[in-house]
Structure 1
Amino acid sequence: MDGVGRMKLGSQGLEVSRQGLGCMGMSSAYGPPKPECEMIALIHHAIDSGITFFDSSDIYGPFTNEILLGKALEGKREKVKFATKFGISFADGKVDVRGDPGYVRAACESSLKRLQMDCIDLYYQHRIDTRIPIEVTMGELKKLVQEGKIKYIGLSEASASTIRRAHAVHPITAVQLEWSLWTRDVEEDIVPTCRELGIGIVAYSPLGRGFFSSGAKLVENMSDDDFRKFLPRFQPENLEHNNHIFERVNEMATRKGCTSSQLALAWVHHQGSDVCPIPGTTKIENLNQNIGALSVKLTSEEMAELESLAFADAFKGERYGASFSSWTWRKSETPDLSSWKDE
């Protein structure tokens, strides 16, 4: 029985499960890639449990996560909505963010091949290329919609002004952003802009990159190639302070009869009917626990108590280190558009 339920994401007709599954950790970033057979079993369990919204990117792996999802969703494509992203390149050993039309098209066609799909449901620009007017990138994405290669367009980590400009070219269905008890800066400007324009909100890392599952203990079990080890909030000078907040959230969860991660995830679910969190996991038991967060009901008093513990600047440390400054929400530049018009 599907206890997850459905929701409308954005204003263009996309319908997804109320909670999605972020798939990055299956293939990259959080330690070594996980066994393919186990991840396919996890994805099938998610579908059977009512999770039918899956989130990937060409950079996860790179490329291997899309290949994995293509295999896992074979024969189940009609049951799910699938999102992937373009825009981050690791060519020649360096990170580059790209939004030029040729790259957009090549990235989309390569993703379709890896996924063994004819069409991508939701295609995000993963990061904003500040060298290219967003209108130019959106122009190519609009063509891909018209050609039937993608159904809906999304942006990830975009500023409010960039979202407005993009939406003027072609409706944006969803904006993906980091939103959790320990990342709340989007509430000031970006979330209100999305709501004004009727754009759905997809919250990634709703569990604080796993922090709300076990607090500081999480770091003890990280492998050497887990990129969270290098994030400021997990550094010793910040971790002790942040763990004190986790302990208070955990105490509240104990009183509620749920886990700390369920409480943190329930808080995101309570932000509104236009918000779809996409917690990632590689374990069926954690997936089941995340689904259980949908049953955790919070009163306005409990929401206020949580927000008094985890207010906007409560946690120490930036979301990303200095070397990843380009990975936080960014504003597109506005050079002379005439030089980009089709000849």
Structure 2
Amino acid sequence: MKIGNVGQDVSRIGLGTWAIGGGPAFDGVDAEDLGIQTIHEGLAHKVNLVDTAPGYNFGRSEEIVGKAIAGNREDYVVITKCGLIWDGEGSFFNKVGDRVLNRSLDPASIERELEASLTRLGTDYIDIYMTHWPAIEPFNTPIAETVEYLMGLKEKGLIHGIGAANVDSNQVREYLKYGDLDIVQMRYSILDRTVEKDLMPVCIENGVTVQAYSPLEMGILAGAVPRGYVPPAGNARAGKKWFEPANLELAQDMLDAWAPLREKYDCSSADLAIAWILAQDENVTVLSGSTRPEEISENVRAMSINLSDEDAAWMRGYAEKIG
């Protein structure tokens, strides 16, 4: 499929590298070797889209991606982001370990971020440059100003496409009013369908690619989270709705109920969860947060599952009953 005017086709499953970056949000794991192997394994399965961001362990994820794509840059479509900084002024976003991330979409800040990202990635262009989070007070740069700057970067060839993550439908309309918007990343899984109400329809109506992140709810829908699991303090899973004990149990009961479908399609729970998202619309893509080669090898199987309308509706109905 195509994303905006980005030259090459991309697979409907891309590789998200937040966890590959390691760091405090992921139990301090530095998965460089496995991360590089996973990115290479993805390409072997025609997964050529790799998503990263400076905010993923303070540039570490970008560094790993840069090492993985070295020598084969043209084979990959790379998404990286701007708007979360740790070395300048901005609106408070989060504290990760001992460092604070702030939000800023000021053009001067984006300029510094882009230069650093190009260096870490070892490239002279970004396929898709994405705002990571909208700007908010007290550093609320207007979308018109941010888009104007991004369009300038596009004209210079420093970036080839423009994306936005974690935006609402009105913000999407504003991006489109002032310039290009090729792709929107949104949290979307069968357990979290909030975006279906307004955001997703606006994107599809305007030809903006929808890219779902956290399609497996950080491992729950892959069956990788044991019953009774409690995330440690500071972990990326801590405080998330579906990791609350009662909700986690309901989600795991749902996976048990998927057993006949796993047998019917000869697949895993992760395959079903991803296939369900892909079945919603042909303009929807998915990011797989795989951290090991075998995980990306497994997740790409979802593209070959022809989930019937009846089964997709049954899965939705069950999910709606539990939240």
TM-score by length of 2: 0.89
Alignment partner, residue 146 of structure 1:
155
Alignment partner, residue 276 of structure 1:
285
Give the distance between the partners of 1:17 and 1:10, measured in 2 at CA: 14
- CA drift at 1:48: 1.6
Give the distance between the partners of 2:205 and 2:108, measured in 1 at CA: 32
Of residues 247, 254, 263, the one that matches 2:263 is 254
The residue identity in structure 2 corresponding to 1:284 is: P
Alignment partner, residue 34 of structure 1:
30
TM-aligned CA distance change 1:15 to 1:307, over 3 Å: same
The residue identity in structure 2 corresponding to 1:27 is: G
Alignment partner, residue 99 of structure 1:
105
Alignment partner, residue 114 of structure 1:
120
Q: How many residues align?
A: 308
Give the distance between the partners of 1:192 and 1:172, measured in 2 at CA: 15
Give the distance between the partners of 2:249 and 2:17, measured in 1 at CA: 29
Structure 1 position 135 matched with structure 2 position 150:
no
- Percent identity between the aligned chains? 29
TM-aligned CA distance change 1:261 to 1:74, over 3 Å: same
The residue identity in structure 2 corresponding to 1:25 is: A
Alignment partner, residue 176 of structure 1:
185
Instruction: Give the conservation status (yes or no) of the 8 Å contact 2:223–2:252.
Output: no
Higher-RCO chain (CA-CA 8 Å, sequence separation at least 6): 1
- CA drift at 1:107: 0.9
- CA drift at 1:224: 6.0
Alignment partner, residue 92 of structure 2:
none
Farther off after superposition, 195-204 or 234-243: 234-243
Alignment partner, residue 310 of structure 1:
319
Give the distance between the partners of 1:163 and 1:202, measured in 2 at CA: 14
The residue identity in structure 2 corresponding to 1:71 is: K
The residue identity in structure 2 corresponding to 1:195 is: I
Q: Secondary structure of 1:172's match?
A: coil
Alignment partner, residue 79 of structure 1:
75
- CA drift at 1:62: 1.0
TM-score by length of 1: 0.84
TM-aligned CA distance change 1:280 to 1:216, over 3 Å: closer
The residue identity in structure 2 corresponding to 1:249 is: W
Give the distance between the partners of 1:13 and 1:79, measured in 2 at CA: 11
The residue identity in structure 1 corresponding to 2:107 is: P
Instruction: Give the conservation status (yes or no) of the 8 Å contact 1:250–1:259.
Output: no
Identify unmatched segments of 5+ residues in structure 1: 1-6, 316-343
- CA drift at 1:143: 1.2
Structure 1 position 15 matched with structure 2 position 24:
no
Q: Secondary structure of 1:152's match?
A: strand
TM-aligned CA distance change 1:13 to 1:78, over 3 Å: closer
Give the distance between the partners of 2:230 and 2:64, measured in 1 at CA: 25
* Consecutive aligned runs of 4 or more in structure 1 exceeding 4 Å deviation: 11-14, 221-225
Identify unmatched segments of 5+ residues in structure 2: 89-98
Q: Secondary structure of 2:281's match?
A: coil
Name the Cα RMSD after superposition: 2.0
TM-aligned CA distance change 1:46 to 1:221, over 3 Å: farther
Of residues 27, 41, 45, the one that matches 1:45 is 41
Give the distance between the partners of 2:295 and 2:60, measured in 1 at CA: 23
Instruction: Give the conservation status (yes or no) of the 8 Å contact 2:221–2:270.
Output: yes
The residue identity in structure 2 corresponding to 1:103 is: S
